């Protein structure tokens, strides 16, 4: 197992915070330095400098008490299906017998549709709900014919409002630290999304179709929020004031994390 995979969801230390700062600095083509040295209360974590901008960055982590459970290890590979799909099913469904979904999903792909039923029309014209499948979502990444299956209460809601609500709650928890930044500095929050965080399942897997059209309701001093999954592929979402949501995209920092962990291991062995 690669070191970056060992890190995913395995506790919390300064390496996680440093990776967040490195992510922001690389995206903005800037540099970062540690700000919170423990000498005062309510210190934000990092200062990022990029193209004349000075940014106060606070890093936090979003977790959920329920583990997201997917059954892709036992789900069948769907013959003739071009993409990877998520299916939310009722408890009575036998996952190993879902190969019949190849037909309905192939039809959706031929129509260029990635969500079923669609938001505008909730009718089940493919007849999947009568067989225990609530809805289908095409993933932004994954192997052809791969099927990820889970009960709806553990895969989370497909509502884009969930992502805004997550951001609003995390900003509220960390606002006092960011308000300590001096005038002229931008205030950014970076949220690590644990692999058991249901609000992030659909934006991370399905992609931009599940991003909110509306902005989160945040304090006027917050300029941007970064949301990155702790899963090994480090998928990133980004909200910027005046520009809204963007993503998902891959974080540029996986190599940085591996290098830091190797460096730390070498230091401990000396």
pLDDT digits (tens, 9 = 90+) for 197-234: 666 766 666 666 678 889 999 999 999 999 987 765 56
For residues 111-140, average pLDDT: 84
More confident site: 174 or 65: 174
Domain at 57, CATH number: 3.40.1350
More confident site: 161 or 241: 241
E strand map for 109-243: 115-116, 133-138, 147-151, 186-193, 222-229, 235-240
Same domain, yes or no, for 178 and 241?
yes
Position 193 in a domain: yes
In this structure, are residues 226 and 174 in contact, taking their beta carbons and an 8 Å threshold?
A: no
Same domain, yes or no, for 130 and 42?
no
Position 72 in a domain: no
E strand map for 63-117: 85-89, 115-116
C-alpha distance across the termini of the chain, in Å: 24
Position 71 in a domain: no
Position 78 in a domain: no
Strands 85-89 and 147-151, by their bridges, are parallel
Of the candidates 32, 53, 39, which has an alpha carbon nearest to the alpha carbon of residue 180?
A: 39
Boundary (domain end) residue, out of 155, 179, 199:
155
Same domain, yes or no, for 175 and 220?
yes
Pull the structure tokens for residue 56. 């106060």
The pLDDT tens digits of the residues spanning 47-84 come to 999 999 999 999 998 865 444 444 555 788 999 999 88
**Total domain count, the chain:** 2
Distance CA 189, CA 147 (A): 34
Q: In sequence order, what DSSP letters do the residues of 48-69 get, joined into one string?
A: EEETTEEEEEEEEEE--SSPP-
pLDDT of residue 160: 66
Same domain, yes or no, for 100 and 136?
yes
Same domain, yes or no, for 120 and 34?
no
Same domain, yes or no, for 9 and 33?
yes
Phi, psi at 111, each rounded to 5°:
-90, -5
More confident site: 110 or 71: 110
Of the candidates 48, 114, 51, which has an alpha carbon nearest to the alpha carbon of residue 81?
A: 114
- Please say if the pLDDT value at position 8 is more than 80: no
For residues 156-168, average pLDDT: 76
- Domain range for 182 is 3-66+159-269
Name, in order, each residue with C-beta under 8 angstroms of 142's C-beta and a sequence gap of 6 or more: 83, 84, 148, 205
Position 168 in a domain: yes
Boundary (domain end) residue, out of 97, 121, 155:
155
Same domain, yes or no, for 165 and 252?
yes
Same domain, yes or no, for 204 and 220?
yes
Position 94 in a domain: yes
Boundary (domain end) residue, out of 155, 174, 199:
155
């Amino acid at each position: 197992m690669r070191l970056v995979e060992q890190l995913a969801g395995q506790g919390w230390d300064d390496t996680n915070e440093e990776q967040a700062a490195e992510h922001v600095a690389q995206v903005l083509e800037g540099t970062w330095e540690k700000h919170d040295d423990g000498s005062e209360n309510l210190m934000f974590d990092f200062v990022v400098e990029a193209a004349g901008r000075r940014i106060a960055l606070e890093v936090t982590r979003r977790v959920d008490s329920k583990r997201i459970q997917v059954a892709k290890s036992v789900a069948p590979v769907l013959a003739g299906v071009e993409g990877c799909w998520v299916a939310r099913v009722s408890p009575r469904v036998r996952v190993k017998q879902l190969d019949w979904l190849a037909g309905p999903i192939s039809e959706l792909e031929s129509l260029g549709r990635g969500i079923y039923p669609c938001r505008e029309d909730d009718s089940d014209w493919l007849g999947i709900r009568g067989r225990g499948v609530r809805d289908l979502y095409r993933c932004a990444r994954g192997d052809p014919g791969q099927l990820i299956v889970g009960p709806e209460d553990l895969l989370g809601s497909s509502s884009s409002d969930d992502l805004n609500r997550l951001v609003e709650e995390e900003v509220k928890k960390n606002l006092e630290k960011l308000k300590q930044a001096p005038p002229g500095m931008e205030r950014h929050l970076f949220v690590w999304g644990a692999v058991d965080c249901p609000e992030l399942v659909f934006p991370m897997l399905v992609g931009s179709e599940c991003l909110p059209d509306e902005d989160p309701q945040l304090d006027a001093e917050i300029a941007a929020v970064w949301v990155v999954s702790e899963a090994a592929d480090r998928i990133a979402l980004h909200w910027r004031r005046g520009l809204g949501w963007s993503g998902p995209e891959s974080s540029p920092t996986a190599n940085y994390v591996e290098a830091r962990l190797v460096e730390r291991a070498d230091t401990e062995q000396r």
